[in-house]
Structure 1
């Protein structure tokens, strides 16, 4: 397997800097308990032009997405994006022993709701959980602001939650928004991967779009194996700094 960008036997965390499909292809089937991830949403491809159903490539939809994600401009042709994500999900499904938690969001385009991948994922969907972000405002008055994102649960046939209390978390998670990560355009709160880990009793987790390293930080906090993959080197460096600071804080508190 390719040499990791970061590998710490003590904290059980490994981070790869590379293309997630290439790295996952080197991983064995059923090699982690769960996958928890949030891919780029293709926010650079926005409705535009004078004709209904046309699109334009733009980097101006929101200032935090002005540069996309570095090497990935987040503005793929929609069919290409959907096909890419189905390939990613197929690999996640192969690698996960228990389940895949896949965070994405709906969009209203040309006045019509479009759910991620047209709800055609290529793997069996067990449940759709709503992440209530709790705040937000839209740029127009044609629809209510989208404050809810989806956490799709793709579960293997024998998947079970650890307790009835875990089931009692329900399918609406009030997690809010992550404000503490300033150098990544779209981090999710650490409570999201933490809840997935706790509810499943996972002892290992993979995030193929590791971003700012939130899933790896949650794995570290729970003392379980964490594997991340991130295309952009600057986000890998951010993650390593975040993990090392957390390790230092835990050591200082001991």
Structure 2
């Protein structure tokens, strides 16, 4: 019996070493690549503590709505909005509880793959549902939210007489205990005024200047965006000579990001 126990321990030790080696060897297979697949599934393959910074904005589940904004693709008064047609390979209309679980699963994986001095900048949108503010606490509660940054956007329309025109989104700074900003970055306020991206085929693209603000405010070397979309986070990483990892479920957006990154790298070489 003792011999059997020893053999089992040896086998488990070998299995652990194999898994550790596989994850360690996989580092180069992630760096500076756009990977097409499910955000949670791909992040589960990333080694612990590999990523120093996560910058991302998930789909907001806008078509699951109590109003007639972009509900079930009708468009309503938002008929000309790019998001009316939804995302490629994601319908943005999950039952709310399923959506919350999905996003919490995403955040859990992000927390695993960042070290003790890592951080997540998680962009989301508050909205009114059923006459009450949906402030996303059901997603972020329990995670170490250190600060809420207000991203003030330009313009917008409001067809609901029950509340004022929404002009901002929020960015949750979810930080591990040892995370610090780079020198002098803490001089920035917590209200950021950036115009949303207008010249982009993706229906909900980040403005590069917004991501540049985040990336330049840290010393992070490897930056992940698990909802990479058209590749803006990668563009910003390149701007500051950082490595990136991009994930997106849409083959269309992955190809869009790769093409955009290639074009940007060619421009950078000319500077």
| TM band (smaller chain) | 0.7 to 0.9
Match of 1:34 among 53, 74, 77: 53
Structure 1 residue 225 displacement after superposition: 0.5
Q: Deviation string for 1:76-98 (max 9, x for gaps)?
A: 00010001100000101111221
CA 171–217 in structure 1, closer or farther in 2 if over 3 Å, else same:
same
Check 1:161–1:99 CA distance in 2 against 1; reply closer, same or farther (3 A cut): same
Kindly report which structure 2 residues correspond to 1:213-252, keeping only aligned pairs within 5 A, or say none: 213-251=231-269
Task: Give the structure with higher Rg (CA).
Answer: 2
Alignment-derived partner of residue 16 in structure 1: 35
Asked if 2 retains the 8 angstrom alpha-carbon contact of 1:44 and 1:65, the reply is no
- TM-aligned CA deviation for residue 176 of structure 1: 1.6
TM-score between both structures, scaled by the size of structure 1: 0.88
TM-score by length of 2: 0.82
**Matched pairs, number:** 240
Partner of 1:159: 179
Deviation of the 1:110 alpha carbon: 2.2
Tell me if 1:170 matches 2:189.
yes
> In the alignment, is the contact (CA less than 8 A) between 1:193 and 1:214 conserved in 2?
yes
Q: Secondary structure at the match of 2:145?
A: coil
Within 5 Å, give how 1:2-151 maps onto structure 2.
Answer: 13-48=32-67, 58-61=72-75, 62=78, 63-97=81-115, 98-118=118-138, 120-151=140-171
Instruction: Provide the C-alpha distance between the structure 2 equivalents of 1:26 and 1:138, rounded to a whole number of angstroms.
Output: 42
Q: Unpaired runs of 5+ in structure 1?
A: 50-55
Q: C-alpha distance in 2, partners of 1:87/1:122?
A: 12
Task: Measure how far apart 1:134 and its partner are.
Answer: 2.7
Unaligned runs of 5+ in 2: 1-21
Q: Give the whole-Å Cα distance in 2 for the aligned partners of 1:57 and 1:175.
A: 27
Which residue of 2 is the match for residue 195 of structure 1?
Answer: 213
Conserved? CA contact 1:39–1:103, under 8 Å:
yes
SS in 2 for 1:87: helix
Partner Cα distance (1:157, 1:250) in 2: 35
Structure 1's consecutive aligned runs of 4 or more residues displaced over 2 angstroms after TM superposition are 60-63, 117-122
Structure number with the higher strand fraction is 1
CA deviation vs aligned residue, 1:104-131 (integer Å, no higher than 9, x gap): 0100112211112436433111111000
State the SS of the aligned residue for 2:52: strand
1:57 deviates by 5.2
